[in-house]
Amino acid sequence: MSAGDARARRRYFMLVAIRLIGVAVAVLGLVLIGRAADAPTRFLGAAIVLAALAMMALVPRSLAHRWRTPPE
C-alpha cells in the first residue's frame, strides 16, 4: 500500500469515526430526553441531539473539503 493510499484510508476511518461519535452523542441526548424529570433537562437533551446531528452533517463535510486533492 502506498503512502497516499494509507493516508486516504486513515482519513476515511476518521470520517466514519466522527459520524459514529455523533450517533453516540445523539443517542445519549435521546436517553437524557427520555429519562428527564423536568423540562430544562429535556431541553438540554434536545440541544445535545441537535448539536450531534449538526456535527454529523458538518464536520465530515468540512474535513473532506479540507482534505480534497487540489485540481491540477
Q: How confident is the prediction along the chain (72 residues), in pLDDT tens digits per residue?
A: 898 899 999 999 999 999 999 999 999 999 999 999 999 999 999 999 999 999 999 999 999 899 887 777
Q: Which of 1, 17, 8 is nearest to 69 (CA)?
A: 8
> What CA–CA distance (Å, rounded) separates 55 from 22?
6
Which pLDDT score is estimated for 69?
A: 79
Which pLDDT score is estimated for 40?
A: 95
Cell matching residue 72: 491540477
Predicted TM-score of the model (pTM) = 0.84
Cell matching residue 59: 464536520
> What CA–CA distance (Å, rounded) separates 22 from 57?
9
